[in-house]
Amino acid sequence: MSGPDRIGELRLSIDALDRDIVALLAERTAVVRELTEFKRDEQTVRSPGRVEEVIARVRGLADAHGMPPGIAEAVYRTLIEELTTLQLERLAERRAVPPPAAANGAA
């Protein structure tokens, strides 16, 4: 197979992997959105200890798969930063909405 043919084939593989990666990231985002509904304050959203735990785990997974751990860490730090922003926005939305009136008809 010629170089240009192989390049085209590899790019198609990358495109297929990107579809899978984005689908998995969307699934992860949906789980984070649900988790956010149980968080009540900014400290719980930010969870710095949990962030470092995730980063350490992801670095180990990357290494086990032959991927430079720094790439995985950079991707996940960006992902976590963006998802933290999403969670903080949702937390602010929930705080802005008044609680529902009591079911007993009290005004």
Establish if 105 belongs to a structural domain: no
Domain count, the chain: 1
State pTM to two decimals. Answer: 0.85
| Ranges in the chain, pLDDT < 70 | 99, 102-107
Establish if 13 belongs to a structural domain: yes
Establish if 99 belongs to a structural domain: no
Which residue segment(s) compose the domain that 48 sits in? 3-94
pLDDT at 103: 55
pLDDT at 107: 52
What's 52's domain CATH number?
1.20.59.10
Reported as a single tens digit per residue, the pLDDT across 23-35 is 999 999 999 999 9
DSSP-assigned letters across all residues of 39-81:
--SHHHHH-HHHHHHHHHHHHHHHHHTT--HHHHHHHHHHHHH
Establish if 107 belongs to a structural domain: no
